Amino acid sequence: MRLPRMITVTLAGAAVLLPVAACSSEEKPPPPAQPQTSGSQSPVAEEPEEGHPFTGLPDADRKPVLAVKIENTGAGKPQMGLKSADIVYVKQVEAGLTRLMAIFSSKIPAKVGPVRSARVSDLHLAPQFGKPAFAYSGAQTKMLPLIAQASLFDVGDTRNGAAYFRQPGRVAPYNLFADTKKLLSAAPKASKAKDIGFTFGDAPETGGVEKKSWTVRWPAARLTFAWEEADKEWLIWQDGKKNMAAEGGQLSASTVVIQYTKTERSQFHDKNQSYTPLVRTVGKGSAIVLRDGKGYRARWERKSEDSGTTFTTPEGEPMNFAPGQVWVALASRTPVTP
């Protein structure tokens, strides 16, 4: 190990020796110390600690990104693993119902599920995370070539069956769960968490309207987010019932984003000829951000599929989220069934 060299700095007329650490060729040397005008040194300002790009929480590991498709109807509840997710996306599927894409990085639960099938909108959302591991249980045959070309590592049940198991006490197809350690071991080069456009910090000083709850509706589903002052969280209800976690307790989020997107008919449909919605997450539009018991109007923009989504205030300033788990409800102001 190289020993630090010493430099001489003049402080209030006295010569002081200070150690200087050796710098690598890729590091910038520290700026020279400035002389003080008094006998005491001014305190050095500490740089703010950088939080996890998905949650804003400090001391969180930037582990590889795991995206998991999870059932979101009453038959599949309670879900397992969602409490550990950094981000939970809610997306419309056939017949006006919704499914979830849970994003894990800072905390990886041991098990997650029920795991359900992939949709074309997933393939447009995933690239902003780089090349994440993507867990799902099957897809339409016509969609398999698109999955193979997508920016993700396929760790679905067809390619990585050893990672999946049937959970006792559940009825198929709502009993398929996955071992996350085995999922990630099948994708050793999965991208680690990086900036996806979210910013965290203080709420805007103006523009917030106090809200006790906010309900988001799709043609055949609705989610209600109710502010719990004691825990500083938005408690989640679905179709009028508490959204409980398999691990215990009600699901909740520090920040809820209602992102209004264009939803249209895709080329895919199920066996009942119900078309799969294509949720457009590239472009720009309006949003509502719920945090700290208030609702804020915002704008969102995502320039390309491999870039993140930024949220700003109507004045163009960053729309900061509250540190913690983020739920993003991809909704339409006029819900339609394609």
What's residue 338's pLDDT? 77
| Window from 21-35, 212-226, 259-273, 324-338 with minimum mean pLDDT | 21-35
Average pLDDT over residues 172-183: 97
pLDDT tens per residue across span 186-200? 999 999 999 999 999
Say which residues have a Cβ less than 8 Å from residue 298's Cβ, sequence separation at least 6.
257, 286, 287, 288, 289, 311, 312, 313, 314, 319
Q: pTM value?
A: 0.84
Residue 283's beta-bridge partner residues?
302
Q: Give residue 302's pLDDT.
A: 98
Note the CATH number of domain 209-327: 3.50.90.10
| Rounded Cα–Cα distance for residues 232 and 92 (Å) | 28
Residue 266: which pLDDT band, with cuts at 50, 70 and 90? Answer: confident
Q: Please state the rounded mean pLDDT for residues 230-238.
A: 96
Task: Let me know if the fold of 66-185 is the same as that of 209-327.
Answer: yes
The b-or-e profile of 69-78 (16+ CB within 10 A means b, else e) is: bbbbbeebbb
pLDDT of residue 156: 97
Could you tell me the pLDDT band of residue 303, with boundaries at 50, 70 and 90? very high
The Cα 74–Cα 237 span in angstroms is: 12
Residue labelled with tokens 């078309």: 275
User: What does the DSSP 8-state code read for residue 43?
Assistant: P
- Name the token pair of 327: 């739920």
What is the Cα–Cα distance from 233 to 24, expressed in whole angstroms?
44
Identify which has the larger pLDDT, 108 or 23: 108
Taking the domains of the chain in order of start, what are their residue ranges?
Answer: 66-185, 209-327
Instruction: Judge contact between 69 and 116, C-beta under 8 A.
Output: yes
**Segment among 3-12, 126-135, 209-218, 264-273 with least mean pLDDT:** 3-12
Average pLDDT score, the chain = 87
Q: Which one is predicted more confidently, 59 or 155?
A: 155
The candidate with the shortest Cα–Cα distance to 112, out of 120, 101, 121, is 101
Shortest CA distance to 216 belongs to which of 255, 256, 251? 256
Second-level CATH architecture of 66-185: 3-Layer(bba) Sandwich (3.50)
pLDDT band of residue 111 (cuts 50, 70, 90) is very high
Let me know: does 80 contact 111? Beta carbons within 8 Å.
Answer: yes
